[in-house]
Structure 1
Amino acid sequence: MKENRIYNFNPGPAALPLPVLEEIQESFLNFAGSGMSITEVSHRSKGFDDVINDAVARTKRLLNLGDSHHVLFLQGGASTQFCMIPMNLLPEGQSADYVNTGTWSTKAIKEIQIQGKNVNVVASSEDKNFSYIPENIAFNSDAAYVHITSNNTIKGTQWAEFPDTGDVPIMADMSSDIMSRPFDASRFGMIYAGAQKNIGPSGVCMVIIRDDMLARVPENIPTMLKYTTHVNKNSMFNTPPCFAIYTVQLVLKWLEETVGGLDKMAEINDKKADLIYGFLDASDFYRATAAEGSRSKMNVTFRLPDEDLEKQFIQAAMENGLGGLKGHRSVGGCRASVYNAVGLDAVEALVDFMKTFEKKNG
């Protein structure tokens, strides 16, 4: 029931728009008049064809992309892309530039090293515990590609502006901030995003890949790990995660038709970020952990004066209907993930609670 729902600040799987959940609930037992659940229909049916084709079309409209880009829905999460990218898109004898901004970038770098491919870590923010996004990076003009992670869920940092890499294509892990703001997607060679943070449930990864990248795919890699395999079969070389793709389609529909597109979504996300960071900066009790200018508008990381207070804060917040505020186990502290589906009302409720908690414990 609606009245029993909490404000959900989970980092992933994360909040989904209530209208999407209601549409799923309404159609779950009888999808599109088929007499079957979406979890029961054949992925070869016209009904599911309509779902996946609509999801592709909406993705392209929201990102202003044309026929030069392909939208795929793959299994294995964003983590599988860490190995697929160099396997498919780094030609023998060439090297790739990687920017290390935290856990997920580190994992991506590890996967290219496992394959014995040439990688240049051209910038890193490890010197300050990944609390900032590096600037003035000297990219290699002969690199096959540049890899970045657009938003760091754990450390709470985000690229405010994407780097100028000249003619070198960017491969971007946008798992936690895709569809949160408008940007020029056409200049990316590839974008990938595990859906479970900002556009859907767990179980599917959106991959957007440009035509010229497909020309690089070698023949001598496993069939399921080739991008061309999935482009040629419209993501249905094998049985796809139908329910997850259906939910993504509904989220994209919500973004396009209810919110009004990425410009409108960005306005809402800016208001949420301004509210919570404004409060944090004015407080002597709470402390934002990411450097100004690098702060994520999706994952707000902060600390209290000590760990005992943090534990009390997280417990009291849950008791007041504010869930998912515990920081990642690797860093501790607190984190409010304020993805697209987390409304301004949720952030207002959080800030009000934080004020009350500070008055009582500060």
Structure 2
Amino acid sequence: MPNSNPAHTSKYEESGVSQTGAETALGHLLKHVLPTRQFNTQFPVKADIGYFANVIDLGNGQGVALCTDGVGTKMRVAELLNQYDTIGIDCVAMNVNDLICIGARPISMVDYIACSHIEAHVFDQLGQGLAEGARQAGISISGGEISQIGEIITGIDLIGAALGHIHLDRINTGQHIQPGNLILGLAASGVHSNGLTLARRVLLGETPEMQQERVHQYESALDRTLGAELLEPTRIYVQPVLEMFEAGIDLKALVHITGGGLLNLLRVQTQNIRFVIDPVPDVPPVFSLIQQRGDITDAEMYEVFNMGVGFCIVVEHANDAEAVQKICKQHSISCHGIGYVETTDAGHNEVVVPSKNLIGSGSRFSAA
């Protein structure tokens, strides 16, 4: 059984990722960044920092949505396999999936590639992935930058920034969520692009030599190699969600389940609510494998990984849920009801997973 001791050291922090440190660093950054809104009041910022994307008011009821994200240490898996033709899909996905959360239609993206060296075949494959991601999302890649900074990094880092169009009266930050609303979970394609530092350490080992060997290891529980499983591209949810917009379905909130897992639900701009995850969706084999081999608690698994749910949609009625599920089915995406919203007097929003005895606020789950 996974270790259930609440004082047990975080495996993610042991692997080199400090969630607490990130929160502290963000606070120090924001105290300088937030006041910059006063520097351009002609085109005001329309949402608080902390949601998946933000919107700039262009006037006449029109706005542009902006966001940025990268593939993180998933790039290390690509490097181990010497296979870079899908990692660009992840870069597009991490950005466009964030844009649709605020109600925007993604339209274009730029990429930034930082590298210690340049090899033509690697960049050819990176381009293939970016192009495929753009095709799936229905966007253009309108520019980018390559920076050779071998003095700073070893290998490659891939980051993107995306732009979307939005009518200002359609900005959605979950501000209209009400108790009794239903939570739908859209299936992930795999680990996606978060938690790879921990997943690699657990499944592939800690040393480069071990990782290079194990990345090619066939795993019967996955019916493929560990490397192929970890490199599976992040699912892009743009086309089905745009169809939901066009169909006029009343979507109370759209939430990209990235780092932080289901705690991403807490980004919504409604207060005094609790997201009850019941029933818990079936957990794909890769997450069970990570948890078992890493002796990781349920709390940390649900903090770090998507656990099979890549995107959540909150709706008001069962009829809306059926309409969402119908569109997802047309796009071969599994979508199921995974819970509901209720009020809480805790003084802050919460996510609870009753079957796992978990309650979460901020960036942490703990035993209920």
Q: TM-score, with normalisation over the residues of structure 2?
A: 0.24
Normalised TM-score (structure 1): 0.24
